[in-house]
Amino acid sequence: MFKWIIIGGGIQGCSVAARLLYHKKVTGDELLIIDPHQEPIETWKSFTNKIGMHYLRSPSVHHLNPDPYSLKKYAKSNDYAQAFKGYYQRPRLDMFNQHCMELFNHIGLQSSWKQDTVEGLNYESGCWSVTTASHQSFDTEKVVLAMGINHQPHYPTWAADMKEEYPDKIMHVFEDGEDINIDNSIAVVGGGMTAAHLANTLSQRRHGSVTLIKRHPFRQKDFDSDPGWLGPKYLNKYNQITCYKERRAMIQEARHRGTITKGLYVSLKRQEKNKKLTIVTDEIKKVYPSKQGLEIKMKNSSRVHTDALLLATGAESGLPGREWLTTVIQEYNLPCAPCGFPVVDSRLQWKKGLFVAGALAELELGPVARNIAGARKAAARIVESS
């Protein structure tokens, strides 16, 4: 029997695992991390490489090592050039990733890794049992649910039918695959950081035309929520609220959805000025196949012609792991808010020995739960309870 099983080996799950191992709460033999991918944070690395991210949006103290100053020490000891950027000291992506992997190697995290897909969870006699797609079952004292939210791409209404008919012409950035292999013109749809990174990267790398289509003017924000949500400035009031409908409304209001950093805005405008990028601010009404590829009918502006569409329209909203977690909720009568997300205690415990991180913890942690800062908060609470 394991002491801990962590379901999900992305930023969230690996942050919890790293803290457990770092503080010697478990040995490698007592911990199991189950994830569909071969390596830790593989989805993160693949996605950030695909969109061409060079610097993180988060500051230097947000990473997976329990020591908040570890990344700065790492940058100095390894003599990284331009290791951090801007007022908030945002770290280089390649340095951040290498820092993660060296941490994992140091604490032996990969010895606890199992590539598999979880399909069920059972509780009996004070013990949790995790079943997987490979028809294996693993018993454990404690479980952490740290599944991601990006496995279910969101397709706007106008794109859903076209996607089925023209899968090679309409793609979503959350779909599997490392590279974007379109030789000629391409249009990126979306108004947030992912779309902006994609448009900026493609306009720098490609000879064919690149168009960015967004519904609203650029909105600039340093972070995806106000830094006050990291501490008592906003959390004191948030923690006093016992109505989970109200908490959900506060989270939705606090998130700066569809925003980009000033630096990325400057890069996009530079590419537009150099005629390497066309920026269209309008709403897509319909997309038609044409001899040239696709014809996009806009609400107010001229039609856009492109060979392919690349959507950066986010993920479907909903419970991570809902394919099997819904059954677990019903079977053990786990408390949920009206939005369907877990109601947990201050330690992020949902039921004895069952903990949550990431999006599943946001009704307790607030709007930062899904990002790296939230991963650090979740890991600290979970490990302190062990």
pLDDT tens-digit readout, 155-165: 998 888 788 88
Instruction: Tell me what the pLDDT averaged over the chain comes to.
Output: 94
Nearest to 267 by CA among 257, 255, 258, 276: 276
Q: Measured between alpha carbons, how far is 294 from 304 in angstroms, rounded to an integer?
A: 8
Give the helix ranges, DSSP H, for the chain. Answer: 11-22, 42-51, 70-77, 93-107, 157-165, 193-205, 232-240, 244-254, 262-273, 322-332, 362-365, 372-384
- Give the span between the Cα atoms of 30 and 21, in whole angstroms: 10
Tell me: do 119 and 170 sit in the same domain: no
What is residue 179's predicted lDDT score, i.e. its pLDDT? 59
Helix (H, G, I), strand (E, B) or coil at 311: strand
* Cα–Cα separations (whole angstroms), residue 265 to 92, 182, 185, 259, 279: 18, 24, 22, 10, 12
Does 299 lie in the same domain as 328? Answer: no
Q: Which residues pair with 345 in a beta bridge?
A: none
**What's the structural domain count of the chain?**
2
The residue among 296, 302, 11, 243 whose CA lies nearest residue 148 is 11
Print the domain residue range for 165: 157-221+256-311
Tokens 């020995």 appear where? 353
pLDDT of residue 168: 81
Same domain, 162 and 131: no
| Cα–Cα distance measured from residue 301 to residue 309, given in angstroms and rounded to the nearest whole number | 18
Q: Establish if 232 belongs to a structural domain.
A: no
What is the band of 318 on the pLDDT scale with cuts at 50, 70, 90? confident
Q: Tell me how crowded residue 166 is: count the other CB atoms within 10 A of its CB.
A: 16
Instruction: Establish how many alpha carbons lie within 13 A of residue 289's alpha carbon, considering only the half-sphere containing its beta carbon.
Output: 10
How many C-alpha atoms does 337 have within 13 Å on its Cβ side? 21
Beta bridge partners of 287: 296
- Whether 244 is in a domain gets the answer no
Q: What does the pLDDT average to over 4-11?
A: 98
Q: In 3-state terms, what secondary structure has residue 314?
A: coil
Indicate the pTM of the whole model.
0.94
Q: Is pLDDT at 79 greater than 60 in this prediction?
A: yes
pLDDT digits (tens, 9 = 90+) for 261-314: 999 999 999 999 999 999 999 999 999 888 878 999 999 999 999 999 999 998
Task: Find the CATH number of the domain harbouring 300.
Answer: 3.50.50.60
pLDDT tens across 223-261, in order? Answer: 999 999 999 999 999 999 999 999 999 999 999 989 999
Q: Tell me: do 38 and 104 sit in the same domain.
A: yes
Give me the mean pLDDT over the 351-368 stretch: 97
